[in-house]
Amino acid sequence: MKTRFRVRITTAGYLYIALTLAVALAGVNTGNNLLYLSASALLALMTLSGLLSVLNLLGLSVRIEPPEETFAGVPSPFGIHLQARGWPRFFLRVRLLEGESRVLYLRDRCRVLLWVRPPRRGEIHLPPLEIYSGYPLGLFRRSRFWPLGIRLLVYPRPLPGRVPLSVRDTVPVPSSGARFRPPEPEEFSGLGPYREGIPASRIAWRASARTGTLRMKEFEGGGGRTLILDLGATPSEEELSRATHLILRALGEGYAVGLRLKGQEIPPGRGPQKRRQLLEALAYA
């Protein structure tokens, strides 16, 4: 990966530069060699600090592990694997969009979690990952950027609330007024990754604790209810958001969900495959 560097001078850094110049000026003025010496030392420290800060960011390799699903405006965990070759690194900060995390000390490798909130739905191009540090003295802040080259498909932000009746079409219609009644759990089909909008009771705690990431029980069922959403030809952003929430919730509770959108029709179904198909349709809408 081709990376690039950038340096920012902090307030303390500007002060330091001013001081160096002042001492050098005093040295030239008086011809006092000890002032020259002080100025040289200040300059030397500046050089060395620059050198150390570059060394601190060199020899780092980065691997990014995007979450399986991301929703606009919802923070999603991006795992960043850092590996440092050779010497130890100090006081790194990893940043991607507004997600930021600190690494005090890196000897070999570590993984940090960044909570990133994608700005909008649809396909987005992630900005480069920034690792920066004011190390060693906080006078200059050096950043290194890793272009990720990841195109991320962001689903619409799930927004709770009732979908306006005109765009909702459920078959068969659930009893009026009542929200979704949780059906009896159907056949347990395995464990899957945790997804937004699933009630906490479906989380497989034991498996989650074992693997370190949230897992949930997946069910697949034959019979049961079906929900087909008709969003018409030109759904608004808000409608898309509410539809996303509704789909997530309905799938989580065992409904077979279908979607009609801009003349395109997705037949009702369940399971992770269907879920992705539905969400992608909403993301690209």
Partner 1 sequence: MAREPGIFPAPGGDVLNREKLSSVRSRLEEVIRGKAQEVELALVCFLARGHLLLEDLPGTGKTTLALALARVTGCAFRKVAFTSDLLPADILGAEVWRPEKGVFEFKPGPIFTHILLADEINRASPRTQSALLEAMAEGKVSVGGKTYPLPRPFMVIATQNPEDLQGTYPLPESQLDRFLLRLSLGYPDPEEEKKILQADGYYEAACDLPAVLSPEEARALQEEVRRVRVSERLLAYLLELAAESRRHREFRYGFSTRGLLALKQAAQALAYIRGRDFVTPEEVKAVFVPVAYPRLLPRGEIPPPAREEMLREFLEQVPVPL
Partner 2 sequence: MPELRPFKVAWILAVASVVLPGGFLYRDLSPVALFFLGGVLLWIFLRERQGDLRPLGVRDQILLLLPFLFWTILTLRLETLVVRFADLLLILAGVKFLGTRTPRDILQIYLLGLLLLVAAAVWRFDLLYGALFALETALLISGLLFLFAAQEGEKIPLALARRLAFLGVLTTLGVFVLTAFYFLFLPRPQYTLFSGPFGSTVRTGLSDRVAPGEIAALQEDPSVAFRVRWLSGPRPARPYFRVYVYGNYHRGVWTALRKGRGGGPRSLPGPRARVEILPQVETRALPVPGYPLKVETVRGPVAESGPEGTVVLKREVLEPSLWRLTVVLTPFFPAESPPEDFLRVPRRIRLSLKRLAEGLRRSDPLETARAVEAFLRRNYTYTLSPGPPSGEPLLWFLFSSHRGHCEYFATAMVFLLRTLGIPARVVGGYAGGQWNPFGGYYLLREKDAHTWVEGWIQGKGWMPFDPTPASGFSSRPSPFRRWRLLWDYLQFRWYYWVVEYDFLKQMRLLRHLAGGLGHRPRLRLNPPRLRLPALVILLGPGLVAGVFLLRRRRFTPVERLLREFSRYGWPRRASETLGEYLERVSRERPDLSSELRTFCELYYQEVFGGQDTRAAQKELLSRILRRLRSR
Number of CB atoms found within 10 A of residue 156's CB: 27
The angle subtended at Cα 73 by Cα 215 and Cα 3, nearest 5°, is: 90
Instruction: Round to whole Å and give the CA distance between 153 and 96.
Output: 16
Task: Answer yes or no whether residue 117 interacts with partner 1 by CB under 8 A.
Answer: yes
Task: Answer yes or no whether residue 93 interacts with partner 1 by CB under 8 A.
Answer: no
CB of 127 to partner 2, least distance (A): 22
Stretch that binds partner 1, among 37-45, 198-206, 225-233, 251-259 (CB under 8 A): 198-206
Task: Answer yes or no whether residue 37 interacts with partner 1 by CB under 8 A.
Answer: no
- Are 243 and 167 in contact, with CB atoms under 8 Å apart? yes
Selection from partner 1, partner 2, none that 200 binds (CB < 5 to 8 A by kind) is partner 1
Task: Give the β-pairing of 151-155 and 122-125.
Answer: antiparallel
Applying CB under 8 A, which of residues 34, 165, 178, 200 lies at the interface with partner 1?
200
Selection from partner 1, partner 2, none that 138 binds (CB < 5 to 8 A by kind) is partner 2
Helix or strand (DSSP H, E) at 95: strand 89-96
Task: Answer yes or no whether residue 208 interacts with partner 1 by CB under 8 A.
Answer: yes
Instruction: Round to whole Å and give the CA distance between 208 and 211.
Output: 5
Nearest to partner 2 of 80, 227 (CB atom)? 80
Task: Answer yes or no whether residue 209 interacts with partner 1 by CB under 8 A.
Answer: yes
Give me the residues paired with residue 192 across strands: 216
Task: Answer yes or no whether residue 214 interacts with partner 1 by CB under 8 A.
Answer: yes
Task: Answer yes or no whether residue 205 interacts with partner 1 by CB under 8 A.
Answer: yes
Selection from partner 2, partner 1, none that 277 binds (CB < 5 to 8 A by kind) is none
Task: Give the β-pairing of 226-230 and 140-146.
Answer: unpaired
> Going edge to edge, which strands form the sheet with 168-171?
168-171, 226-230, 256-261, 264-269
Selection from partner 2, partner 1, none that 111 binds (CB < 5 to 8 A by kind) is none
Residues forming the site for partner 2 (CB under 8 A): 11-12, 14-15, 17-19, 21-26, 28-38, 40-41, 43-45, 47-48, 52, 88, 90-91, 102, 104-105, 134-139
Burial 178-216 (b: 16+ CB within 10 A, else e): eebeeeeeeeeeeebebbbbbeeebebeeeeeeeeebbb
Tokens 């979690």 -> residue: 113
| Per-state percent for the chain, helix, strand, coil, to nearest 5 | 30, 35, 35
Stretch that binds partner 1, among 125-133, 202-210, 245-253, 262-270 (CB under 8 A): 202-210
Selection from partner 2, partner 1, none that 209 binds (CB < 5 to 8 A by kind) is partner 1
Residue 19 three-state SS = helix
Cα Rg of the chain, angstroms: 27
Task: Answer yes or no whether residue 91 interacts with partner 1 by CB under 8 A.
Answer: no
Nearest to partner 1 of 115, 284 (CB atom)? 115
List contacts with partner 1 (CB under 8 A).
75, 113, 115, 117, 200-201, 205, 208-209, 214
